[in-house]
Chain A
Amino acid sequence: AAGVIQSPRHLIKEKRETATLKCYPIPRHDTVYWYQQGPGQDPQFLISFYEKMQSDKGSIPDRFSAQQFSDYHSELNMSSLELGDSALYFCASSPRTGLGIYEISSGANVLTFGAGSRLTVL
Protein backbone atom coordinates (compact mmCIF):
# COMPACT_ATOMS: atom_id res chain seq x y z
CA ALA A 1 0.00 0.00 0.00
CA ALA A 2 1.17 3.51 -0.72
CA GLY A 3 2.59 5.34 2.28
CA VAL A 4 3.50 8.91 3.04
CA ILE A 5 6.43 9.91 0.85
CA GLN A 6 8.92 12.53 1.93
CA SER A 7 11.77 14.03 -0.03
CA PRO A 8 14.61 14.49 0.20
CA ARG A 9 15.54 11.90 2.79
CA HIS A 10 18.70 13.75 3.70
CA LEU A 11 19.66 17.36 3.22
CA ILE A 12 22.79 19.25 4.22
CA LYS A 13 22.74 23.04 4.23
CA GLU A 14 24.84 25.83 5.61
CA LYS A 15 23.74 28.53 8.01
CA ARG A 16 21.54 31.23 6.47
CA GLU A 17 20.67 29.05 3.47
CA THR A 18 17.14 27.95 2.57
CA ALA A 19 15.67 24.47 2.32
CA THR A 20 12.44 22.98 1.02
CA LEU A 21 11.01 19.68 2.15
CA LYS A 22 8.24 17.90 0.33
CA CYS A 23 5.54 15.56 1.54
CA TYR A 24 3.19 13.42 -0.54
CA PRO A 25 0.30 12.09 1.56
CA ILE A 26 -1.46 8.78 1.20
CA PRO A 27 -3.98 8.95 -1.66
CA ARG A 28 -7.35 10.32 -0.51
CA HIS A 29 -5.81 11.78 2.64
CA ASP A 30 -6.44 15.50 2.60
CA THR A 31 -4.89 16.46 5.93
CA VAL A 32 -1.15 16.89 6.32
CA TYR A 33 0.87 17.50 9.48
CA TRP A 34 4.50 18.55 9.90
CA TYR A 35 6.58 17.62 12.92
CA GLN A 36 10.15 18.44 13.92
CA GLN A 37 12.17 15.97 15.97
CA GLY A 38 15.48 17.22 17.30
CA PRO A 39 18.20 14.83 18.52
CA GLY A 40 16.88 12.94 21.53
CA GLN A 41 13.64 14.92 21.49
CA ASP A 42 10.02 14.01 21.02
CA PRO A 43 8.29 15.09 17.81
CA GLN A 44 7.07 18.67 18.03
CA PHE A 45 4.05 19.73 16.01
CA LEU A 46 4.79 22.52 13.55
CA ILE A 47 1.77 23.05 11.34
CA SER A 48 -1.10 21.25 9.62
CA PHE A 49 -3.24 21.69 6.56
CA TYR A 50 -6.72 20.51 5.66
CA GLU A 51 -8.08 20.94 2.16
CA LYS A 52 -5.19 23.26 1.28
CA MET A 53 -5.90 25.62 4.17
CA GLN A 54 -3.83 25.90 7.32
CA SER A 55 -5.80 24.13 10.03
CA ASP A 56 -3.50 24.38 13.05
CA LYS A 57 -0.21 25.95 13.99
CA GLY A 58 2.29 24.85 16.57
CA SER A 59 5.83 25.85 17.36
CA ILE A 60 6.80 26.78 13.83
CA PRO A 61 9.38 29.60 13.60
CA ASP A 62 8.51 32.67 11.55
CA ARG A 63 11.42 31.75 9.25
CA PHE A 64 9.47 28.68 8.19
CA SER A 65 6.43 28.59 5.96
CA ALA A 66 4.39 25.79 4.49
CA GLN A 67 1.55 25.20 2.11
CA GLN A 68 -0.60 22.45 0.72
CA PHE A 69 -1.18 22.25 -3.00
CA SER A 70 -4.17 21.21 -5.12
CA ASP A 71 -2.87 17.63 -5.34
CA TYR A 72 -2.67 17.63 -1.49
CA HIS A 73 1.09 17.41 -1.35
CA SER A 74 2.72 19.83 1.04
CA GLU A 75 5.99 21.71 1.15
CA LEU A 76 7.83 23.10 4.16
CA ASN A 77 10.06 26.04 3.32
CA MET A 78 12.80 26.99 5.75
CA SER A 79 14.84 30.15 5.36
CA SER A 80 17.78 31.71 7.20
CA LEU A 81 18.69 28.29 8.51
CA GLU A 82 20.25 28.05 11.94
CA LEU A 83 22.27 25.27 13.52
CA GLY A 84 19.32 24.52 15.81
CA ASP A 85 17.16 23.67 12.80
CA SER A 86 19.09 20.43 12.37
CA ALA A 87 16.49 17.77 12.98
CA LEU A 88 14.37 15.05 11.51
CA TYR A 89 11.27 16.51 9.90
CA PHE A 90 8.30 14.19 9.76
CA CYS A 91 5.23 14.58 7.67
CA ALA A 92 2.03 12.69 8.46
CA SER A 93 -1.31 12.45 6.73
CA SER A 94 -4.80 11.43 7.71
CA PRO A 95 -8.27 11.41 6.17
CA ARG A 96 -10.55 14.38 6.53
CA THR A 97 -11.25 16.12 9.83
CA GLY A 98 -14.59 16.95 11.38
CA LEU A 99 -15.50 13.31 11.73
CA GLY A 100 -18.20 11.68 13.76
CA ILE A 101 -17.68 8.98 16.35
CA TYR A 102 -18.26 6.25 13.74
CA GLU A 103 -15.42 7.47 11.57
CA ILE A 104 -13.15 7.85 14.59
CA SER A 105 -13.74 4.28 15.71
CA SER A 106 -13.05 3.04 12.19
CA GLY A 107 -9.58 4.55 12.28
CA ALA A 108 -10.18 7.45 9.97
CA ASN A 109 -8.35 9.89 12.23
CA VAL A 110 -5.16 7.91 12.60
CA LEU A 111 -2.00 9.71 11.48
CA THR A 112 0.35 7.82 9.20
CA PHE A 113 3.91 9.09 9.21
CA GLY A 114 6.51 9.33 6.50
CA ALA A 115 10.10 8.21 6.95
CA GLY A 116 11.24 11.76 7.59
CA SER A 117 13.69 14.17 6.05
CA ARG A 118 16.90 14.64 7.99
CA LEU A 119 18.18 18.20 7.77
CA THR A 120 21.71 18.97 8.86
CA VAL A 121 22.74 22.60 9.09
CA LEU A 122 26.49 23.22 9.16
Chain B
Amino acid sequence: AQRVTQPEKLLSVFKGAPVELKCNYSYSGSPELFWYVQYSRQRLQLLLRHISRESIKGFTADLNKGETSFHLKKPFAQEEDSAMYYCALSAMRHGSSNTGKLIFGQGTTLQVKP
Protein backbone atom coordinates (compact mmCIF):
# COMPACT_ATOMS: atom_id res chain seq x y z
CA ALA B 1 0.00 0.00 0.00
CA GLN B 2 1.06 3.56 -0.60
CA ARG B 3 1.75 5.54 2.54
CA VAL B 4 3.54 8.76 3.43
CA THR B 5 4.70 9.49 6.96
CA GLN B 6 5.73 12.85 8.34
CA PRO B 7 6.73 12.16 11.94
CA GLU B 8 6.75 15.77 13.14
CA LYS B 9 3.52 17.72 13.48
CA LEU B 10 5.34 20.90 14.41
CA LEU B 11 8.87 22.10 13.80
CA SER B 12 9.85 25.38 15.41
CA VAL B 13 13.16 27.05 14.58
CA PHE B 14 14.73 30.48 14.79
CA LYS B 15 15.36 32.58 11.71
CA GLY B 16 18.64 31.63 10.09
CA ALA B 17 18.68 28.13 11.53
CA PRO B 18 18.80 25.05 9.29
CA VAL B 19 15.57 23.20 8.67
CA GLU B 20 14.86 19.57 7.87
CA LEU B 21 11.30 18.32 7.49
CA LYS B 22 11.23 14.57 7.46
CA CYS B 23 9.25 12.41 5.07
CA ASN B 24 9.26 8.64 4.67
CA TYR B 25 7.22 6.71 2.18
CA SER B 26 6.05 3.20 1.54
CA TYR B 27 5.48 2.09 -2.03
CA SER B 28 6.61 -1.00 -3.88
CA GLY B 29 6.71 0.51 -7.36
CA SER B 30 8.35 3.61 -8.78
CA PRO B 31 7.11 6.56 -6.78
CA GLU B 32 7.20 10.19 -7.61
CA LEU B 33 7.61 12.38 -4.55
CA PHE B 34 6.47 15.94 -4.07
CA TRP B 35 6.52 18.61 -1.42
CA TYR B 36 3.49 20.89 -1.30
CA VAL B 37 3.26 23.98 0.88
CA GLN B 38 0.16 25.63 2.30
CA TYR B 39 0.62 29.15 3.59
CA SER B 40 -1.93 30.52 6.01
CA ARG B 41 -5.37 30.69 4.38
CA GLN B 42 -3.98 29.87 0.94
CA ARG B 43 -4.24 26.94 -1.42
CA LEU B 44 -1.86 24.01 -1.61
CA GLN B 45 1.05 24.92 -3.85
CA LEU B 46 3.69 22.71 -5.35
CA LEU B 47 7.07 23.45 -3.80
CA LEU B 48 9.23 20.89 -5.53
CA ARG B 49 9.30 17.41 -7.00
CA HIS B 50 12.08 14.87 -6.86
CA ILE B 51 12.21 14.24 -10.57
CA SER B 52 13.20 17.82 -11.39
CA ARG B 53 16.02 17.92 -8.80
CA GLU B 54 15.67 21.65 -8.37
CA SER B 55 15.96 24.10 -5.51
CA ILE B 56 12.93 26.29 -4.86
CA LYS B 57 13.04 29.17 -2.37
CA GLY B 58 16.25 27.66 -1.04
CA PHE B 59 14.60 24.31 -0.32
CA THR B 60 15.97 21.03 -1.63
CA ALA B 61 14.89 17.43 -1.23
CA ASP B 62 16.70 14.27 -2.26
CA LEU B 63 14.99 10.98 -2.85
CA ASN B 64 16.76 8.23 -0.91
CA LYS B 65 15.36 4.94 -2.15
CA GLY B 66 17.41 2.91 0.30
CA GLU B 67 15.90 4.72 3.26
CA THR B 68 12.61 5.40 1.44
CA SER B 69 12.90 9.04 2.46
CA PHE B 70 12.40 12.42 0.83
CA HIS B 71 13.36 14.92 3.50
CA LEU B 72 13.00 18.63 2.80
CA LYS B 73 15.94 20.82 3.74
CA LYS B 74 16.86 24.47 3.85
CA PRO B 75 20.15 25.75 5.26
CA PHE B 76 18.83 29.08 6.58
CA ALA B 77 15.15 29.40 7.49
CA GLN B 78 13.29 32.66 6.88
CA GLU B 79 10.17 33.92 8.65
CA GLU B 80 8.23 33.76 5.39
CA ASP B 81 8.87 30.01 5.28
CA SER B 82 6.36 29.55 8.11
CA ALA B 83 3.63 27.33 6.68
CA MET B 84 2.25 23.81 6.59
CA TYR B 85 4.34 21.44 4.50
CA TYR B 86 2.97 18.25 3.01
CA CYS B 87 4.99 15.45 1.52
CA ALA B 88 3.07 13.56 -1.15
CA LEU B 89 3.54 10.48 -3.27
CA SER B 90 2.20 9.53 -6.65
CA ALA B 91 2.73 6.43 -8.71
CA MET B 92 4.74 7.10 -11.85
CA ARG B 93 2.10 7.75 -14.47
CA HIS B 94 3.40 5.71 -17.34
CA GLY B 95 0.63 3.25 -17.84
CA SER B 96 -3.12 3.27 -17.82
CA SER B 97 -3.28 1.80 -14.34
CA ASN B 98 -1.88 4.94 -12.75
CA THR B 99 -4.40 7.66 -12.10
CA GLY B 100 -2.01 10.28 -10.82
CA LYS B 101 -3.65 10.84 -7.47
CA LEU B 102 -1.49 12.08 -4.64
CA ILE B 103 -1.24 10.43 -1.27
CA PHE B 104 -0.40 13.03 1.37
CA GLY B 105 1.47 12.76 4.63
CA GLN B 106 0.02 14.22 7.79
CA GLY B 107 1.79 17.51 7.28
CA THR B 108 4.37 19.40 9.31
CA THR B 109 3.83 22.94 10.50
CA LEU B 110 7.04 24.91 10.20
CA GLN B 111 7.22 27.88 12.52
CA VAL B 112 10.15 30.22 12.00
CA LYS B 113 10.64 32.59 14.90
CA PRO B 114 12.38 35.96 14.55
Residues of A within 8 A of B46 (CB): 110-112
A33 on the interface (CB 8 Å rule)? yes
Q: A43-B104, A105-B52, A115-B42 are in contact. Are A99 and B99 (CB under 8 A)?
A: no
- Is B43 part of the binding interface, using a Cβ–Cβ cutoff of 8 Å? yes
Stretch from A14-22, A48-56, A65-73, A79-87 contacting the other chain: A48-56
Q: A31 contacts the other chain (Cβ, under 8 Å)?
A: yes
Given A90-B43, A109-B90, 18 more A-B residue pairs with CB atoms under 8 Å apart are A33-B101, A33-B102, A42-B105, A42-B106, A43-B44, A45-B101, A50-B99, A55-B99, A97-B98, A98-B93, A101-B92, A104-B93, A107-B52, A109-B93, A113-B43, A114-B43, A115-B43, A116-B43
Interface residues of A (CB under 8 A from B): 31, 33, 41-45, 48, 50, 55-56, 58, 90, 92, 94, 97-101, 104-105, 107, 109-116
